Structures are given as C-alpha cells and as structure tokens.
Structure 1
Amino acid sequence: MEVAVLQSPVAQTKVVGKTGVLIVNLGTPDSPSVPDVRKYLREFLMDGRVIDIPLVQRSLLVNGVIAPFRAPKSAKIYKQLWTETGSPLKYYGQVVEKELQKELGDDYVVKLAMRYQSPSIDAGLNEFQQLGLTNIIVVPFFPQYASASTGSVYAKVMDIVKDWNVIPAIRFVNRFLEHPKFIEGFAQIARKYMAAYDYDHFLFSYHGLPERQIRKGDVTKTVCQFGDCCNTFNALNQHCYRAQCFETTRLLVEALGIPEGKYTTSFQSRLGSDPWIKPYTDEVIKEFPSNGIKSVLAFSPAFVADCLETTIEVGVEYKELFEQAGGKHWQLVESLNDSPIWIETLVDLVKTA
C-alpha cells in the first residue's frame, strides 16, 4: 500500500531590522558659565587619548592646573561663540541629525552624540539597545583619523557595549577626508569668497597634536619624520594624522585650482610646552605680511561644524594677529555645518559603511 507523504514547505521568515546610526562630534559645554566649562574641560582632558600621560600626572595637571585656571578664560571665549540657539556645534549637530534621518528614511534610526558632555554616547547606544537594533554604524565627525578624536570615540563605544549580553554588529567610519563631497563642500564655500576677492594666499589650518602621539601611531618606527614624509600620501603614512591633513590640503587645492606656492598647511591650538606638529599656525601668520602676503583666505578642514577653534581661534584671534603683523584682509571659510552637501556626504558614508 502506498503511503502519501504530505511535505509542507517550511516558512522562512526574514527579520528585517533597522540600523542605528550614531553621529558623534567632540562636544561642548552645556553653557558658557565657568562651572559648565570647567566640567567640560575636566571630562575632555582627563581622556587618556587626549592627554596621553600616566593617570596620576594627568589628574594633577587637569584638576590642579588646567581646569581651575583655564576655565574662567575659556568661559569668556565661549560667551563670544554662544548664540541664541546655544553652542553652534551642538545646534548644527541637532539639525544634521534631523536632516540625515529624513534622507535615510525609516530603515535607520539616527542619533546625535558628543564624545564629551551631552547628548552622551551612552544615551545614544542605550536607546539603540532598547530598540533591539543589532546593526550600528558609528560616524565620528572627524575627517582625519587621530587617536585623540576618532580613536577616543571607538574606545568609548567599545567600552560601553562590552558589557551587553547581545553585542550588535558595529561598523565605524574611520576617516572621510578623501570623500569627493566633503572636499566639494568646503570648495563651494570657498568659491564664493574667491569670486569676490583676489587673495594673495590660502591657509589650511588643522587642529594640532603632540608629536609623541604621531610617533605612537607609527608602528614601523621609521615613517614619521615630521617633515617631507607628508609630501605624499601612501600606504605607509596613511594612518598618520599629519599626513592626512596635508593630503586634505592637496585635495582642496586641486579642487579650487590654487597655484603651487600660494598656500600653506599649518597646525593650531597647541597646549603645553611639549613639541606639537609643525608648522604652527600663529607663527606662520606673523610672517605673512613681511613676505608680501596682505590678504588670506583661511580654512579649518579638521572641523565639520563651526566651533571655538574655527569661529573664534581662526576667524577672530588669527585675524587680529594677521592685522597686527601688517595684514589687510582675512576671511574664514566656514565649516560644512548643516549644508546639503554635508548631509549628502553622510548619507554616502552610512550606506557604504
């Protein structure tokens, strides 16, 4: 007797989940008051990737010297920067969060976080955890990789998720200085100034780092010489922050058609007496007028949102320094902030992460 066997097809259910996108900038005080600025400085400078000295020494330096004495001075500067919408860095971050969410659509959950202060990385990741997201993309807002910036974000994220029972798939954007839309974003802003004025020189000023941090990143112990080694960008020096900055300049110079000899790459915001990567922006500026450079278009392409280092340091303080030395015309190229091309850049970075 034949037995008919009824074979039921196995229903296969594909679970489609959302992807969390954590966009992370450096951070800002909650207000320009001295207590809030001091709180921010303490959290920022106690990061062992920012001031990379032993914990006891770092604590004595930050809590005993820098935070108490620098906070009142920094608070005054932050008051110059503050607007009716608050900190520009946080304000633009919030706008970008909304615009990026709109462009990415319902398959993504976009959250803004700051490496220091609020909104925190902890809060963003915890929200992703509560939503049951198993795919997360972290986009640090630093075009060039440095241990003290992008590396610190990586470390913080991993420190948080290491205690989760279910650790999601996490992908990080390492750098994006080569992204064509990132370069074009700065070029678009610069072109409007170049069309209105014939500049003698173009300055590309990047946030500085201690030379020791660059040496630590050179695992070969042979590449970083703090000189001509950054004249090309290759497989050996591609992880060097200084080399990445020089490459960013070359890409912007090419995009804008700036002739050789009419531009300078330099580094700002040094702290302490240890040698930082050179040339130093403030020293370079002092020499411009005596070399016949009376007008400068200044870029700060290490930052994607205007902040104290761009608006105040480059836009105001360096302008005053230039004019005191005999310069006549100084113009800052603003950061990408919430421009449409910056949103387009982020969409590309997320979808190709």
Structure 2
Amino acid sequence: MSTSREHASTGRPASDRGPTGIVMMNLGGPKTQDEVQPFLLELFADREIIQLPLQRWSGPRLARRRTKGVQKNYQDIGGGSPILKWTEAQGRGMCERLDRISPATAPHRFYVAFRYVSPKSDDALQAMHADGVRRAVAFTQYPQFSCSTTGSSLNELWRASKRLGLHDAFDWSVIDRWPTHPSFIEAMTDTVRQGLATFDEKDRDDVVVLFSAHSLPMGVINRGDAYPAEVGASVHEVMKRLDYDHEYLLAYQSDVGPVPWLGPSTETVIKDLGAKRRKNVLVVGIAFTSDHIETLHELDIEYGELAHEHGITNYVRAPAFNDMPLFQDALADIVREHLASGEPCTRNYGLRCPGCVNPQCRNIINPIAPFKRTPVTSSPKNKLYPTG
C-alpha cells in the first residue's frame, strides 16, 4: 500500500516530541487504467463535491458511462495521472527547506492524502502515528479555498481520524488557503513569464493571458463559497506583478454532470477569442499546483485542438509547477509562517458559507488553539452528510 510518507534527511535527530507531520491534501488521480472507474464511482457519490438529482442512482450511472472515455484520456497522457509523483517531489523539496529555515519544528515529514485513490487520509494518518508524529498540519494543495475541495478533504481527514481511533493522537492546525501568498504569487508569475517567452517577440504584445481554474457547481457557489473571489484575487496579484502589461481573462474548466456550473467556460472563451480573430493565447492554470489530467489532456490536447480549429495559431499553456524549485520555496515559506504564528487556521476558516447545511464543515479536531466556528444552518439536509 502506498503511503507517501517521506522526510528530508538532514542528519538532525528527531526530538522527543517527534517530527512535525504535514498532510498534503488534494483530490488525486488514477495511477492506472484499473483505478479509473473506482475513482469515478467515489467522486460522483460524494455530495460534498457534487450534488446530483437522485445521486444514489445517477452517480454510479454517470461514473460507469464516463469510464471508457476517461480511460482513453489517461491513456493519451501516458496511462495514469502523474499527480502523486509531483506531490511527492514537492513534499520532499518543502521538507528539505523547512528543516533549514524552521529548525525549531524540525524534522518535518510530509504525508499525501488524496480523496478517491491511494494514498488516502487513512494511509496518511496511520503512517503519521507509526512515525511518532504529534504536531500535525493539514496543508491544502488547493491555493483557493472551496468547501468542495479543501473543505471536503478536511472533513474526510477528520472522519478518518475517528474511524481509526486517532481522534486525540495529533495536535492539529490547518493551512486552509493561500491565494495571495507572496511566494505563491511569485512562483505563478514566473510560470506566466516563461509562457510569454515562448511567443515570438513580434507577437508577444498581442498575447491574451487566459487564466483557467477548475469550475464548481453553481449550487456550491450560491451557498456563498469563497472560491470565485479567491481565484480572482490570485489573478489580480499575478497581473499586478506583471504591471498589467497584457490583456487577460478568467474562465473555468472541467464541468461534468447535469447541473449548472460556474462560468464562463474555458472552452467557450477559446471559441470566442478565435471568433474575434485573436491569434495568440497563453493559458495559465491558476488553481493547479502540478500537471494532471486537467492540464495534460483538457488544456493541452482538447483545448489545444479547439484553439487551432477556431483560428488561434499560437496557443500555449504556461508550465505547471511540478518540481519547480521556486514553488517548493513557496510551500516551505507558507508552512514556516503558519507554524511560527501559533494559529490553528486563518480567521475566515471558521466562518461557514451562509447556506451551509453540512454539520462537519469548518471543523478542526484537537486544535492547537481555540478558534471561532459559526453554527450550521438547521435543515433536514443536515442528515444527508456522512459523519464517520
């Protein structure tokens, strides 16, 4: 079983309190063709990610109907998702840097917790317990907060702690968002500069920078989810560092299922830019921290073909962070500042969405310090969410 528990070897012996454990949370992706259908079955059954009509029946049906197509997409990019490889590389680099810049909390070890494919939260927690971790940080790998991404990952982490009898095993804090952290913005800006440098100098001033983020169902957005505002904040800070020297747009990708999704869609925007005779487009995955199916297939292959069909002759995607040292610097800076603050979370973490009906949301089990958490809206829907 894969646990992705690794740490930087710096020659520093572990203290009596044990290492500082950093759980790197993300959705994950199938590593093989055989993992695709189980992944989709779990995804479309999860009401914290997407709510479908008659979900108990429609979720499995949608997953099975999409399996062959999704398997083909993964085959096109090498057979499986590289997200675990890149997350592990980022975790190693982060811990190596943390051991140098935060010796008081060293040694540091990272643990990967994906949602629907191993290593999952149970794997991470069991590995942490075996390694003697006491101080633990739940570190979302989604820079911009959403209840459907960071929120659902945290809820599953707490459920797994309960299932394993590890509710009191760790002293927890949460890095729940970092959309405008200076080190993240600098790394993202660097990828944009790299992308712009691939255009001929004569075309560079004409480039439209198209920021693309994963879409969310409008049912999530209309509850008051922070995601659109935080994605917009990231875009603003990147363009500010670029002195607003290019035209830019923000769009959303990867909508699936028979429900309304946040727009405008990246697909529609690409078509519209082609219709307006724009020839030079740089796409930037503003919400992604590594290459995976949404970048390698959707942005590169599907939208690349679409762009050329609609007359966009120079369509380029800015590189993902992957093993980029500047991004590993950013991860380490974010964790170091968080550990030094002594805070359990950001001030906004405990503020539920106005329409929240999930009793689990905005929780931290055994937090390092008290935090303010608003109550859930009373509703018959409270019972629809899993508790363990």
* SS of match in other structure, 2:222: helix
Q: Which residue of 2 aligns with 1:21?
A: 22
* AA of the residue aligned to 1:101: C
By how many angstroms is 1:345 displaced?
1.1
Equivalent positions of 1:52-201 (< 5 A) are 52-53=51-52, 57-63=54-60, 65-82=61-78, 87-105=81-99, 106-162=106-162, 163-164=165-166, 166-197=168-199, 198=204, 199-201=206-208
1:15 Cα offset (Å) = 5.2
Alpha carbons 2:212, 2:283 under 8 Å: kept:
yes
Could you list the per-position Cα deviations for residues 12-39 of structure 1 after superposition, in whole angstroms to 9, with x for gaps in the alignment? xx954321111122111130x2x42101
* Unaligned runs of at least 5 residues, structure 2: 1-14, 100-105, 339-388
| Matched position secondary structure for 1:116 | coil
Further displaced range: 86-95 or 277-286: 86-95
Mean Cα deviation higher: 295-304 or 313-322: 313-322
* Counterpart residue identity of residue 36, structure 2: V
SS at match of 1:27: coil
TM-score, normalised by the number of residues in structure 2: 0.76
Match of 1:71, SS state, is: helix
Aligned residues: 311
Paired residue type of 2:215: G
Equivalent residue for 2:232, pick from 238, 246, 265: 246
1:165, CA displacement in angstroms? 5.7
Structure 1, residues 31-55: CA drift from partner, whole Å, max 9, x if none? 0x2x42101111222222112357x
How big is the shift at 1:295? 0.8
Distance 1:52 1:305 in 2: 27
Contact 1:30/1:118 (<8 A) preserved: no
Per-residue CA distance 1:226-270 (angstroms, 9 max, x = gap): xxxxxxxxxxxxx5211111111111111223347x111111111
Contact kept? 2:22, 2:109, Cα under 8 Å: yes
Distance 1:48 1:325, change over 3 A: same
Q: Following the alignment from structure 1 to structure 2, what is the Cα–Cα distance between the partners of residues 192 and 298? A: 12
Partner in structure 1 of residue 274 of structure 2: 289
Give the letter for the 2:73 counterpart.
Answer: I
Q: Aligned equivalents of 1:120 and 1:165: distance in 2?
A: 17
- Greater C-alpha Rg: 1
* Counterparts in 2 of 1:39 and 1:165: CA distance versus 1, 3 Å: closer
Structure 1 residues 160 and 272: CA distance shift in structure 2, 3 A = closer
1:324 aligns with: 309
Letter paired with 1:28: G
Identity of aligned residues (%): 27
**1:189 deviation in Å?**
2.1
Amino acid at match of 1:87: S
- Measured in 1, the distance between the counterparts of 2:128 and 2:308 equals 50
Gaps (5+ residues) in structure 1? 1-13, 219-238
Secondary structure at the counterpart of residue 352 of structure 1: helix
Given that 2:95 and 2:332 are in contact with CA atoms closer than 8 Å, whether structure 1 keeps it comes out as no
Q: Which amino acid aligns with 1:30?
A: K
Aligned pairs for 1:206-221 (under 5 A) are: 206-216=213-223, 218=224
**Alpha-carbon distance in 1 for matches of 2:298, 2:24:** 25
Is 1:47 paired with 2:49?
no
The whole-number CA distance in structure 1 between the counterparts of 2:151 and 2:267 is 27
Q: Deviation at 1:129?
A: 1.9
Structure 1 residue 158, shift from structure 2 partner:
1.0
**Aligned residue type for 2:236:** R
Output the amino acid matched with 2:41.
R
Corresponding residue of 1:10 = none
Partner-residue secondary structure (3-state), 2:27: strand
| Larger mean Cα displacement after TM superposition, 194-203 or 277-286 | 194-203
Calculate the aligned-residue CA RMSD, in Å: 1.9
Aligned AA for 2:112?
Answer: L
Give me the TM-score of the superposition, normalised by structure 1.
0.83
- The CA distance in 1 between the partners of 2:141 and 2:198, in whole Å, is 30
1:182-230 per-position Cα deviation (integer Å, ceiling 9, x unaligned): 11112212213323421431100111011110112x2xxxxxxxxxxxx
In structure 1, which of residues 301, 304, 310 is the aligned counterpart of residue 286 of structure 2?
Answer: 301
Mapped to 2, the partners of 1:195 and 1:281 lie a distance apart of 22
